[in-house]
Structure 1
Amino acid sequence: MELTNKANRLITEHSPYLLQHAYNPVEWYAWGQEAFDKAKKEDKPVFLSIGYSTCHWCHVMAHESFEDEEVAALLNRDFVAVKVDKEERPDIDAVYMTVCQALTGQGGWPLTILMTPAQKPFYAGTYLPKTSRGGMAGLMELLAVAAEQWRKNRDAIVQSGEQITEAVKAQSFKENLSETPGLEMPEKAAKLLKSSFDSEYGGFSHAPKFPTPHNLLFLLKRYTLLKDSDALKMAETTLRRMYRGGIFDHIGFGFSRYSTDTCWLAPHFEKMLYDNALLVMAYLEAYRITEAPLYREVAEKTLEYIAREMTSPEGGFYSAQDADSEGVEGKYYLFKKDEIEQVLGDAAEGFCKAYGVTKLGNFEGGNILNLIENKDYETISGAFEQERKKLYEYRKSRMKLHKDDKQLTSWNALMIAAYARAYRILGKEEYLKAAERAAALLLKPLMGAEEGLRVGFREGKSFGPAHLDDYAFLAWACLELYAATYHAQWFTNAVRLAERMREDFLDSEQGGFFLNSEMEEPLLYRPKEVYDGAIPSGNSVVAYVFNTLSRLTGEEVWRSLSEKQMIYCAGEAQRYPAGFCFFQYALLHELLPSQELICVLQQETLLEEVRKELLRLNRPNLYTMIITPGNKKEISKANPFAAGCKANGKPTVFYLCGGGACQEPFYELGELEKRLNGQ
């Protein structure tokens, strides 16, 4: 079916997803009052379609239905059609995904909603073929029936929408705990993960398998703080098996979104920025614990991929790369054996043997390169570096790969945190420069007349007021930058972001934090997300940020907010703690003993020496602030306690506290290790 040459209203939007639909024959509206006013005036239901630009099934539904004149005729005649990019409007997506899950028991994208002009839903589903097949309802049939019912039984449909709305609203009010739980909650989470753990291939489910990096971060932190060897084994097995599988791109590097099988061979080929950011952090933590070179290699390769293919000229990070090329999922990544032989010549035989390449192939007649059967997987990549580069250049020349080039604040913040942690652990200046450059870009609106973060930006233009995740993730990133550099600006920015979260998103009555600000347009209700799904929830990250600020500053405001947030999240997590693993990560920091260190330096030149010693000591749950003549004024505004720590006429002075008690100050960096050990 040929597309119309006439653009619809989406042509003026900036979202790559909306622009993909700008030449559909469907008369799409972007989400906004104009669409709902039209629906009310013409007494039509609203057809809401939510997706994102690199979503495979969104592409399928677009080609089958939204580019089809028959479907467009029904939609244009009987409905007002609205398109939403879920990555730009996670608040709208959260509301209607909750509806879909409540009505159908499942969710996903594309998300399809029928609702009244008052935004009250009466039908929810995901992908629909154009016509019914294989027991699956067709979009044409659904639209015809819905339009007829709207004409004949409008009042009943409106009442149904009201009932569904009230039921979904009621789900957002849940009974909470009265106090922070003990270590039994993260213990239960670890046991639940162990019960579903695949001991051969890693991961915590059968196919499809998702990386879920925050599960691994929790397990690695559990080992670090509690020496749980089972936790380390689960994390290491998963990290190694993912790298060996096809979910890792052995030619261009980086990880795909998930595996369609149990051994991580055949991925769903789209690459998401957030997965790669969180996986970098997981591999770095595994390297920090074990010093195994493989983990460092994977982290460095993934960051190389981000720098090469996912970084904008301004220093921000693009959102995703598509699974489809020329309408075929995975086509960009697959190789025929004879292609490799043509490119590599005599070197092809050894390469094919190493990476599991055969004449028959392992995926739809082609080959996904992998190291699943290669016992030398830890050392093999260096032996074929020149061959890899040749195949990478050849692959690029074959076809193009669509890239979603919008730069989302929340996902960028995760990558900033990954780069900052990479600098702290690996010491490469290029990683720090990448983190600081991107952070300055994201923080710019907070400093200017707009006085608030934006959801993201594309082609030099920012869009949309930021949501909770944007503030929480960027505060986390600033704390990672502070821990990597001890430059005061990152600490003070984390404080500013946390203060804005408290002002704009806190639910002072029920606890927790809303996803959207009360200053934004009203939806059916203000959603609150706590479950740690593909990425950690904003509420889980808030718990971590508040706890960290409480430990760094000793300020009552952060201690109280941290305690309340822990209680709220624990109440949500109590039924299935393993579904809230980033919260469990934060809870470990809250429950286990910590030490707080303030270093007062008389000279700026001493900062690097102290930073390197702290990195060498590598102490878990040590929270450090460093005061120098150049940053004392800035630090003092956010941390009055630190302002009272004096140098006492010495080049360096160290104030160490732990367990609610503070030691006498000491003056030599060489004493620090003994004091941390209680000597």
Structure 2
Amino acid sequence: MANRLAHETSPYLLQHADNPVDWWPWSAEAFEEARRRGVPVLLSVGYSSCHWCHVMAHESFEDQETADYLNAHFLSVKVDREERPDVDAVYMEAVQAATGQGGWPMTVFLTPDAEPFYFGTYFPPAPRHGMPSFRQVLEGVRHAWSDRREEVAEVAGKIVRDLAGREISYGAGVAPGEQELAQALLGLTREYDPQRGGFGGAPKFPPSMVIEFLLRHHARTGAEGALQMAQDTCERMARGGIYDQLGGGFARYSVDRDWVVPHFEKMLYDNALLCRVYAHLWRATGSEQARRVALETADFMVRELRTAEGGFASALDADSDDGTGRHVEGAYYVWTPAQLTEVLGAEDAELAAHYFGVTEQGTFEEGASVLQLPQHEGVFDAEKIASIKERLFEARASRPAPGRDDKVVAAWNGLAIAALAETGAYFDRPDLVDAALTAADLLVRLHLDDRARLARTSKDGHVGANAGVLEDYADVAEGFLALASVTGEGVWLEFAGFLLDHVLVRFADPESGALYDTAADAERLIRRPQDPTDNAVPSGWSAAAGALLSYAAHTGSEPHRSAAERALGVVKALGPRVPRFIGWGLAAAEALLDGPREVAVVGPSAEDDGTRELHRTALLGAAPGAVVACGTPGSEEFPLLAGRELVGGAPTAYVCRRFVCEMPVTDAVGLRAKLTP
């Protein structure tokens, strides 16, 4: 018999709809019921492609005896962190403060007033490795609640007060300058892994936001060390097992320092960010590998994550059926020598094993290997390798596929729109631009209401009930701004403006200019979440600063530029200290220091060859954060086009920077020179 989660739209919550646990979704009614019964609340937070969330569900939440105990002594609330990042953020902050670490599944015990008093992540069904069993935890919490209620309330109250007293080092709202960015670069150099690329040790996550900063810093200053770190990291990731060598796209992270064995889930946000990073790396260097990876990653997103409605699904699971009925992590992606032989025959299998690093011992589990690329591809016959890859890809497609989380998250679709629009424009792939346009249209039609308020998610064409958070407004605005530059359609600039006006009015502190993750009129939690640091995705704070800056460059809006500069004060404070965790903010600061440059291209029509050449040259300009408007003289779609005329009857480009405009140019070479710092 299904529980209350059967009425939800979240794929993660629906995975638990048949549990014997009497789950409630997060709601005021759930806490009211806990108050009526006089029981504590078990808050369990996870997401659909989380491996250990599935493990704990199978071990504990599907177990009738455990469920009976929970139902008798607790009120159980299940939350999808991807639908409610605000709830996740507030309680994850408490978990990390109390235990020094965090992760998912997140297990928190609350009073009926939603105040936390006991924390954890995964708990096993039996004691192991120094961890108590889940049943032991439940019994301990139950007895504390029954026998020491006043003590529990005192602990919960102290935790809430401690959280409320935490302040963010804000830098007095002053944007960073050359000194802070140089210190950030030095800090990244210290943490860089010169042998393997990337930063720090295992596990290694793709540092997409830091790479964006490094590319912009090199473009603005010429610092070769910044470019080298970006290039080497991208190359090592592209050759490693974290990248899908057959189908394109990146896994979530590498469990080792060498990028060999990934955690196999594939997230939309990672692939959107990395697609754009590799496209920008190609723009900076002309690297053929970067071009290939950008296009393959874009094609992966369209092929495997695009939904029937034209949006992009959140994720693919790490686990899948291995063909014997077992649900195994990585089963869809790994190969043994015997499997290669079965598909390719002995001779080609030997070549494939040598090329992809497949051995009898294996690099993963049970003698299987994750495919990698050799350091010297040139010694292999390119046509033969292409044939082998195609045959392996087709054979892999017959395996049981990983599950897909089909919910459309506004913020992550905004990142995908930006990546697909730019990649399509750079490499003359109008189909990718069309995919970006279709996704953007879905967000406008389904996620935006008549007040331009944004819903966080949708699924199967039905909008979810959860309000958008700061990252949704900021990342969707970023996607719309990229789309406006690529397509020359000013309506996307207009929609971006609607969203950013909400940021100014509903998410910004009117006194300091600091930004909150939730709107002023959003559901009140025990703390209004506010985090300027990047995690798996750019922080809403940094993303908003970047989008506000770009919009101001397009429109000349002083309030938007001032808000961006004030928001970047946090980068001044944190950039030199923790540069790995504020890369998107550092990238926005690079754009601010460069201007950003404003490029207006006018021509007799968008189809005119000369106009198209100037437009593409503008998009390929290396200047950090440059904005591009393209249209006909007298067009009212973009403020940057006002008063711009053809010079000598020819398509013409105008470049301005910090309120100063240079002489117009009519040739691509001249425009390229004006966009080179």
Q: Name the TM-score class by shorter chain.
A: over 0.9
The alpha-carbon deviation at position 391 of structure 1 amounts to 2.1
The alpha-carbon deviation at position 445 of structure 1 amounts to 4.0
Deviations 1:578-633 (A, max 9, x none): 3211100000111235543444556555543431342466555544333536841x
Match of 2:503 among 496, 501, 504: 501
Separation in 1, partners of 2:452, 2:661:
39
Separation in 2, partners of 1:33, 1:490:
37
The alpha-carbon deviation at position 143 of structure 1 amounts to 0.8
Separation in 2, partners of 1:347, 1:603:
52
Asked if residue 526 in structure 1 is aligned to residue 528 in structure 2, the reply is yes
Q: Which protein, 1 or 2, shows the higher relative CO under an 8 Å CA cutoff with sep ≥ 6?
A: 2
Separation in 2, partners of 1:277, 1:77:
44
Q: Once the two structures are aligned, what percentage of the paired residues are identical?
A: 37
Separation in 1, partners of 2:383, 2:160:
57
Separation in 2, partners of 1:589, 1:523:
35
Aligned positions of 1:77-156 closer than 5 A: 77-156=72-151
Aligned positions of 1:562-577 closer than 5 A: 562-573=564-575, 575-577=577-579
What residue ranges of structure 2 are gaps of 5+ in the alignment? 321-325
Who is 1:676 aligned against? 674
Aligned CA distance change for structure 1 residues 467 and 243 (closer, same or farther; 3 Å): same
C-alpha contact 2:602 2:653 (8 A) present in aligned 1:
yes
Who is 2:331 aligned against? 331
The alpha-carbon deviation at position 180 of structure 1 amounts to 2.2
C-alpha contact 2:634 2:644 (8 A) present in aligned 1:
no
C-alpha contact 2:633 2:643 (8 A) present in aligned 1:
no
Asked if residue 610 in structure 1 is aligned to residue 611 in structure 2, the reply is no
C-alpha contact 2:602 2:641 (8 A) present in aligned 1:
no
Deviations 1:237-271 (A, max 9, x none): 11111111111111222111001111111111111
The alpha-carbon deviation at position 398 of structure 1 amounts to 3.0
Aligned positions of 1:313-352 closer than 5 A: 313-325=308-320, 326-345=326-345, 346-352=347-353
C-alpha contact 1:26 1:73 (8 A) present in aligned 2:
yes
Aligned positions of 1:416-455 closer than 5 A: 416-445=417-446, 448-449=449-450, 451-455=452-456
Aligned CA distance change for structure 1 residues 447 and 669 (closer, same or farther; 3 Å): farther
SS in 1 for 2:415: helix
Match of 1:39 among 3, 23, 34: 34
C-alpha contact 1:113 1:125 (8 A) present in aligned 2:
yes
SS in 1 for 2:171: coil
Aligned positions of 1:69-80 closer than 5 A: 69-80=64-75
Aligned CA distance change for structure 1 residues 415 and 671 (closer, same or farther; 3 Å): closer
Who is 1:658 aligned against? 657
Aligned positions of 1:557-596 closer than 5 A: 557-573=559-575, 575-596=577-598
Asked if residue 290 in structure 1 is aligned to residue 285 in structure 2, the reply is yes
Equivalent residue letter for 1:336: T
Equivalent residue letter for 2:332: Y
Separation in 1, partners of 2:502, 2:156:
35
C-alpha contact 1:247 1:257 (8 A) present in aligned 2:
yes
542-551 or 46-55, which deviates more: 542-551
The alpha-carbon deviation at position 216 of structure 1 amounts to 1.1
Separation in 2, partners of 1:592, 1:450:
34
C-alpha contact 2:606 2:631 (8 A) present in aligned 1:
no
Who is 1:199 aligned against? 194
C-alpha contact 2:599 2:655 (8 A) present in aligned 1:
yes
21-30 or 506-515, which deviates more: 506-515
The alpha-carbon deviation at position 88 of structure 1 amounts to 0.4
Q: How many residues align structurally? A: 667
The alpha-carbon deviation at position 643 of structure 1 amounts to 3.8
SS in 1 for 2:361: coil
Who is 1:541 aligned against? 543
TM-score of the superposition, structure 2-length normalised? 0.93
Asked if residue 361 in structure 1 is aligned to residue 362 in structure 2, the reply is yes
Who is 1:251 aligned against? 246
C-alpha contact 1:550 1:556 (8 A) present in aligned 2:
yes
Aligned CA distance change for structure 1 residues 580 and 344 (closer, same or farther; 3 Å): same
Separation in 2, partners of 1:529, 1:254:
28
Who is 1:383 aligned against? 384
Separation in 2, partners of 1:558, 1:36:
40
SS in 2 for 1:48: strand
Separation in 2, partners of 1:669, 1:42:
75
C-alpha contact 1:212 1:534 (8 A) present in aligned 2:
no
What residue ranges of structure 1 are gaps of 5+ in the alignment? 1-5
SS in 2 for 1:657: strand
Deviations 1:394-420 (A, max 9, x none): 223232311111111111111111101
Separation in 2, partners of 1:239, 1:381:
22
Asked if residue 456 in structure 1 is aligned to residue 457 in structure 2, the reply is yes
Who is 1:3 aligned against? none
Separation in 2, partners of 1:367, 1:381:
25
Aligned CA distance change for structure 1 residues 438 and 116 (closer, same or farther; 3 Å): same
Deviations 1:191-234 (A, max 9, x none): 12111211121110111111121111111111111111111111
Asked if residue 237 in structure 1 is aligned to residue 232 in structure 2, the reply is yes
Match of 1:23 among 15, 18, 22: 18
Equivalent residue letter for 1:658: R
Separation in 2, partners of 1:677, 1:434:
28
Root-mean-square deviation (CA, aligned residues, Å) is 2.4
Separation in 2, partners of 1:138, 1:111:
15
Separation in 1, partners of 2:208, 2:201:
16
C-alpha contact 1:553 1:642 (8 A) present in aligned 2:
no
Aligned positions of 1:160-171 closer than 5 A: 160-171=155-166
SS in 1 for 2:274: helix
C-alpha contact 1:257 1:269 (8 A) present in aligned 2:
yes
Match of 1:221 among 205, 216, 237: 216
Deviations 1:517-552 (A, max 9, x none): 232221112111210111110110111111112222
